[in-house]
Structure 1
Amino acid sequence: MRIVFAGTPDPAVASLRAVAASGHDLVGVVTRTDAPLGRKRVLTPSPVAAVAATLGAPVIKADRLDDAATTEIAALAPDLGVIVAYGGLVREPLLSTPRLGWINLHFSLLPRWRGAAPVQHALIAGDRASGASVFQLVPALDAGDVYGEVRYDVPRGATSGDVLTALSSLGAGLLLEVIDALAAGTARATPQTGAPTLAPKLSIADGALDLRQHADTVIDRFRGTTPEPGAHVTVGGQRLKVLAALRGPDLHLAPGALALVGRDVLIGAGTGTVLLKTVQPAGKGAMAAADWWRGLRLDDPRVDVPADAPGASA
């Protein structure tokens, strides 16, 4: 089949490579335009664009799949559209442009976690099982019939980055199975069942760790927002990025209170503690939490929490 592939970030690369290495014809790759990255804000191609260039595939760069993009894609005469984390909506008439429409590899077990950030929301919610689904794209958000899915047990302590890496590989294999079945005319899709949950895109504010909550809940949010949009707390009015953290021992520390216990830097939570491993202060590089602690110049170091936090003044 003639396939056009749409995707942008790293988790889409494994699927792009799989399609390119298959017996099908990759006739074009659609990805978002170059974005400014780093402190110098250098315009940089998306991971999918960079790989597509090495594969020699024609690339269409567009932040919106508008009339112009639709015209370019239609000129490729695709039999099937494949989308993996592109970052934009496919609407008519583009939705019906390929002969077999579009299929989407989505990193959740649908209908749970429809939306842009399924893995992040799954970990924040404390899900211990995840997976990937390939479904027929329809106008409603992630609501199409499902051709296949693969389940994945989330390892203890895994971050959203870890889970996305695993699912991108597992999902690429599932995607090829569905593509081959569509080509052979044997693919069968089944309607989604159960109540859907939504997973909208996360903002930087979603990475704030609320130390009023149980330590397990705090760690779940840390895992779900690492590496993006980034977990953080505020100490002395300055944002402190939390790059690595674990569930700490069940010591009695007021929410937000900081303590050095042996070589471990602990933060009190509503119940239990959070153990900081690696942090990044504002304007500095990553460092061990103990090194950061030794460099603090505060009389009473603690994580800022709202005044109404239980025990906040203790």
Structure 2
Amino acid sequence: MRLVFMGTPDFAVASLNALVEAGFDVVGVVTAADKPAGRGQKLQESAVKQYAVAKGLKVLQPLKLKDPEFIEELKSLRADLQVVVAFRMLPEMVWNMPPKGTINLHASLLPQYRGAAPINHAIINGERESGVTTFFLKHEIDTGDVIFSEKVTITSEDTAGDLHDKLMNVGAGLLVKTVQAIADGNYTEQPQLQSDELKHAPKIFKEHCLIDWNQPGQSIYNLIRGLSPYPTAFTKLNDKTLKVFKAELEEKETGLAPGAFLSDGKTYLKFATKDGFIKLTDLQYEGKKRMQVDEFLRGMRL
């Protein structure tokens, strides 16, 4: 069975590698175009492209997915099945092209957390469980018939980065299982249940990352975990941005207004919330490197 793989970031590399290692015939890899990045604005290749080039796989980098030249080149690969992991929305002329269709790996237990940021939102909402789902693409985003899913536990300390890595590895295995099942014709498709109680995972913008100290401590703690290491929750200190990567929750009476902070100037810095404190442990002050709180306090006058 001839496969075309579509993906861009590190999350997708694990899946592509799993397919290659399992011996599937990956005849082409579609990924994002090289983009300028960093101070020197040098062109940077996607993680998927770097892997594909290292493995000698054919790489396509269309700027527009409806470009006639790209469509013809994609057709020429004669894929039986297309596999999408952490890529962008596909036009119907692309996802409907292979005879066996196009499947997607999504980082949630569908139909919950459809959208661009399922990992972040699961932790922000305090979930204790997430997972990965494989499904066939159709018109509405993340609504296609489910093939397989697998659950993953979220601990009370897990950040979005921790959950990302768990789902990346579990998802790679699930994807191999899915492709093999399609190759063998040994699978069933399950329509996604419709409900008014579905939770969504829209794209996160900077305004969603500002900490509101008037919220309960648990909600703030979950926000910090759910945005770490990227795009990162932040607050303001001396009119400068203070990013918070990790923190601890202290549930007790503070006697302080939400947003006020306490510090001994050496080992701790904590902000009052609606019902306790959030103790910052791993942070980055505007213009500085990321550091532990004791290192930050040694060079900072509060």
Identity among equivalent pairs (%): 38
- My pick for the range that moved more, 228-237 or 133-142, is 228-237
Residue in 2 that maps onto 1:171: 171
Residue in 2 that maps onto 1:118: 118
Question: Shift of residue 274 of structure 1?
Answer: 0.6
Structure 2 residue aligned with 1:292, among 288, 293, 296?
Answer: 296
Residue in 1 that maps onto 2:283: 279
- My pick for the range that moved more, 274-283 or 104-113, is 274-283
Q: Deviations over 1:203-239 (max 9, x none)?
A: 2222211111011100111111111212111112111
Question: Shift of residue 293 of structure 1?
Answer: 3.2
- My pick for the range that moved more, 288-297 or 240-249, is 288-297
Residue correspondences, number = 297
- My pick for the range that moved more, 205-214 or 102-111, is 205-214
Secondary structure, counterpart of 1:11 in structure 2: helix
Paired residues of 2:267 and 2:293 also in contact (CA < 8 A): no
- Matched residues in 2 for 1:222 and 1:72: separation? 44
- Matched residues in 2 for 1:32 and 1:270: separation? 44
Q: TM-score normalised to the size of structure 1?
A: 0.90
Residue in 2 that maps onto 1:79: 80
Paired residues of 1:247 and 1:273 also in contact (CA < 8 A): yes
Question: Shift of residue 81 of structure 1?
Answer: 0.4
Paired residues of 1:206 and 1:225 also in contact (CA < 8 A): no
- Matched residues in 2 for 1:109 and 1:67: separation? 33
Moved over 3 A (4+): 293-298
Q: What is the CA RMSD across the aligned residues, in angstroms? A: 1.6
Structure 1 residue aligned with 2:204, among 202, 210, 230?
Answer: 202
Q: TM-score normalised to the size of structure 2?
A: 0.94
Secondary structure, counterpart of 1:276 in structure 2: strand
Q: Is 1:258 aligned to 2:258, yes or no?
A: no
Question: Shift of residue 248 of structure 1?
Answer: 2.7
Q: Deviations over 1:178-213 (max 9, x none)?
A: 101100111211011142332111122222111110
Residue in 2 that maps onto 1:130: 130
Residue in 1 that maps onto 2:237: 235
Unaligned stretches of 5+ residues in structure 1:
299-314
Secondary structure, counterpart of 1:93 in structure 2: helix
Paired residues of 2:227 and 2:233 also in contact (CA < 8 A): yes
- Matched residues in 1 for 2:200 and 2:139: separation? 16
| TM alignment of 1:155-194, pairs within 5 A | 155-194=155-194
Secondary structure, counterpart of 2:270 in structure 1: strand
Paired residues of 2:251 and 2:275 also in contact (CA < 8 A): no
